[in-house]
Amino acid sequence: MGSGAGAQNPQLNIVSFSETFNLYYTSRFSPKTLDKIDDFIEHFEKYNLFGDPLKNHPAWIGKISPSWKVPDHYENKEAIELHARANKLWHAHLGDPVFKDTFHGKYKVSDWVIHFQRLTPNHIKLLELGYHDPMDLPQNFE
Amino acid sequence: MKTEQHHDLVKDTEVFGVSLSLLISRANEKSVTMPSGLSREQRRAWAAEQARKIHS
């Protein structure tokens, strides 16, 4: 009442861990990987995944994709599309060990990606890290 | 039989470095939700406390 906080009403961006991810976060990941995960969490909390150009909020520097968008050459493409979509599975390139430039420059890629559920536009649940050679994708795949 | 085959298909399918069945399993696990705006030190302490609670 009268504080003005309600008028601003900033939309909170919420991060959850699966219980196994929490276990790995506390006992398994290297300090460098933890820093990369924290970079991603802090970016999401401040700017969400894709930022907001109108507010000068940046998108995450790494490529972010729904995991049901897979190249045509993937085996079991239909199963991936069905289950990844039903479970709201997404992944983001984490910059671990380093970010690499792409030919179009729209985002960067890395060997390691972080898998998460995008439960709502403002709530993600971190699930697992995956090693994935970005050079394995066709150049025109986005 | 059809269900078993379908299950095997999911189990053997890899999505960007992780098996699809593992991701689905993690997605269906209980989760812990962190307070926002923590420093790194606070976040790691918070996660350690959650791990302690989960395994106690």
| pLDDT score of A113 more than 90 | yes
- Can you tell me the mean pLDDT for A109-124? 97
For residue A139, name the pLDDT band (cuts at 50, 70, 90): very low
Contact, A59 vs A40, CB < 8 A?
Answer: no
For residue B56, name the pLDDT band (cuts at 50, 70, 90): confident
Distance between CA atoms of residues B18 and B50, nearest Å: 25
Encode pLDDT of A32-52 as tens digits.
999 999 999 999 999 999 999
Q: Is there a contact between B36 and A12 if contact means CB atoms under 8 Å apart?
A: yes
| pLDDT score of A6 more than 70 | no
- Can you tell me the mean pLDDT for A80-90? 95
Which one is predicted more confidently, A125 or B10? Answer: A125
| pLDDT score of A142 more than 80 | no
CATH of the domain at A17: 3.30.2310.20
| pLDDT score of A58 more than 80 | yes
Q: Which domain holds residue B5?
A: 1-30
Could you tell me if residue A77 is inside a domain? yes
Q: What is the pLDDT of residue B15?
A: 87
Q: Is there a contact between B34 and A84 if contact means CB atoms under 8 Å apart?
A: no
**Number of domains within chain B:** 1
Q: What is the pLDDT of residue B10?
A: 64
Q: Is there a contact between A15 and B30 if contact means CB atoms under 8 Å apart?
A: no
- Please tell me whether residue A141 adopts helix, strand or coil conformation: coil
Encode pLDDT of B13-45 as tens digits.
888 899 999 999 999 999 999 999 999 999 999
Residue of A14, A73, A128 best to disrupt the B interface, most CBs of B under 10 A: A128
Specify the amino acid at residue B38: L
Could you tell me if residue A58 is inside a domain? yes
Count contacts between A and B (CB, < 8 Å): 113
Could you tell me if residue B44 is inside a domain? no
Q: What is the pLDDT of residue A121?
A: 96
Q: What is the pLDDT of residue A73?
A: 82
For residue A69, name the pLDDT band (cuts at 50, 70, 90): very high
Could you tell me if residue A142 is inside a domain? no
Residue of B2, B7, B19, B23 best to disrupt the A interface, most CBs of A under 10 A: B23
Q: Is B34 exposed, middle or buried (0-12, 13-18, 19+ CB in 10 A)?
A: buried
- B-side interface with A, Cβ within 8 Å? 6, 9-10, 12-13, 15-18, 20, 22-24, 26-34, 36-37, 40, 43-44, 47-48, 50-51, 54
**Number of domains within chain A:** 1
Q: What is the pLDDT of residue A136?
A: 58
Closest Cα in chain A to B12? A76
Could you tell me if residue A140 is inside a domain? no
Could you tell me if residue A36 is inside a domain? yes
Q: Which domain holds residue A101?
A: 11-133
- Can you tell me the mean pLDDT for A133-138? 57
Q: Point out which residues pair with A125 in neighbouring strands.
A: A16, A117
Q: What is the pLDDT of residue A2?
A: 38
Q: What is the pLDDT of residue B1?
A: 43
Could you tell me if residue B47 is inside a domain? no
Q: Is there a contact between A127 and B27 if contact means CB atoms under 8 Å apart?
A: yes
Joined tokens for residue A2? 């009268």
Question: E strands, A82-121, where?
Answer: 89-96, 112-120
